[in-house]
Amino acid sequence: MITHVLAIETSCDDTSVAIVGPQGFVRAVVSMNQDKAHAPFGGIVPEIAGRNHTEFLLPLIDRALQEAQVSWDDIQGVAVTNRPGLVGSLIVGLVTAKSIAQARQIPVIGVNHLEGHLLAPFLRDASYAPPEDFDFPYVGLAVSGGHTTLYHVPRWGRYEVLGATLDDAAGEAFDKFAKSIGLGWPGGAKVDQLAKAGDPKKYDFPRSMIHEDHLQMSFSGLKSSAQRKIEGMTSAEIAENRSHLCASFQEAIVDVLVDRLSKAQKLLKLKKAVITGGVSANSRLRECGLQWAQKAGVQLVIPPLRYCTDNAAMIGYAGWLRLQAGEKDSLSLGPSPSSYSSDFIGENR
Ligand code: KG4
Ligand code: ZN
């Protein structure tokens, strides 16, 4: 039995290292956020992300080993995100992981970042455990800055795409909207905060495709509608109505996400569901998701915030499952900006 996997996540702008054991038990997870470095540019600058990963990664590995109170001799495998993501960012984690594997003579496994998000509901630690009866199969909604996709997950390793956004990811829509009302980047969490004091009915923003009989999503109509509304307002009006704008915009996104999750659950007649990814940190999405689940008699698991946003613990658990099953990659494993065609079943990967 593999008891300690060292996991590395550097696919985008968060540098994260974890040590994960059986049943998804997280012995340590340490991360460095780069928001401050990218904020002046209004978005992620890939070259800055890669440079920062290079500076942060080795000190984080030392910290993770210390926090987990383990030594190199305890580490039996290395899991690393090698797809999808920014190639210059993935390379930093990947080369480090392969070097460790070679030096320590232990196996390395490349993990798909989205598989990590979809398995995050199983993570546990000293202060949190998912419900005891939570297990496969489930409907999974992975909603982040780069992805908004619905999956059927009958077991680990099999991820069937049911539908996805046809344009912007929900997190991207949150971030663009936040920028347009002067909240800076990344603004998803700020919109969430301001929305708490706002009226979600003050502005009538569109819920694209909500009554249509499929599982695709679209947020570009909402984005343009909000843009037009904001362009027609003076700066004073925007400042005065900021919380109402945030609440109305957020409500439209949440309505679409919960509607699609509910449609998928009905279609598959599954009694378990998961919302995961950075946007699942959104307090209104959590609230409306849980309300829907209670009404529909569905067990909905939304991982705690530390496992929703990008983190190496989820990569560690996906890697642990694969290493434990005897899988390993060669030392010529490379990075890939997109998922492999074998990672998912169905369209819209
Ligand atoms: O999963 P994640 O950490 O990174 C990606 O893989 O994209 O997700 C980051 C996204 C960003 O767009 C951010 O604005 C959004 O998640 N986000 C939120 C909240 N917290 C993070 N969006 C809405 N409400 C939040 N509370
Ligand atoms: Zn992510």
Take residue 51 and report the two structure tokens written for it: 């440079």
Cα 7 to Cα 108: distance, rounded to the nearest angstrom: 10
Residue 144 Cα: closest atom of ligand 1: 8
pLDDT at 274 over 70: yes
Q: Where are the alpha helices (DSSP H) in 79-127?
A: 87-104, 113-119
Take residue 55 and report the two structure tokens written for it: 């500076």
Give pLDDT tens digits for 189-200: 999 999 999 999
Q: CB within 8 A of 256, min separation 6: which ones?
A: 207, 208, 209, 210, 217, 219, 222
DSSP state of 169: -
pLDDT at 82 over 80: yes
pLDDT at 348 over 70: no
Q: Find the angle CA(295)-CA(299)-CA(303) to the nearest 5 degrees.
A: 120
Tell me what the mean pLDDT of segment 241-259 comes to: 98
pLDDT at 76 over 60: yes
Q: Ligand 1 pocket: which of 309, 310, 311 to mutate (most atoms <8 Å of CB)?
A: 309
Q: Ligand 1 pocket: which of 144, 177, 283 to mutate (most atoms <8 Å of CB)?
A: 144
Which amino acid is present at 241?
N
Output the CA 117–ligand 2 centroid distance in Å. Answer: 7
Residue 187 Cα: closest atom of ligand 1: 14
pLDDT score of 213 = 86
Ligand 1 neighbours, Cβ below 6 Å, are: 12, 144-146, 171, 174-175, 186, 188-189, 192, 277-279, 281-282, 309-310
pLDDT at 235 over 60: yes
Take residue 120 and report the two structure tokens written for it: 């995050």
Task: Evaluate whether 275 touches 289 at the Cβ level (below 8 Å).
Answer: yes
Output the CA 146–ligand 2 centroid distance in Å. Answer: 7
pLDDT at 110 over 70: yes
Cα 177 to Cα 168: distance, rounded to the nearest angstrom: 12
pLDDT score of 211 = 81
pLDDT at 222 over 50: yes
Give pLDDT tens digits for 134-182: 999 999 999 999 999 999 999 999 999 999 999 999 999 999 999 999 9
Tell me what the mean pLDDT of segment 265-289 comes to: 97
Tell me what the mean pLDDT of segment 18-28 comes to: 98
Cα Dmax for the chain: 63
Which of 31, 25, 30, 34 has its CA nearest to residue 5?
25
pLDDT at 349 over 60: no
pLDDT bracket for residue 347 (50, 70, 90)? low
Tell me what the mean pLDDT of segment 256-263 comes to: 97
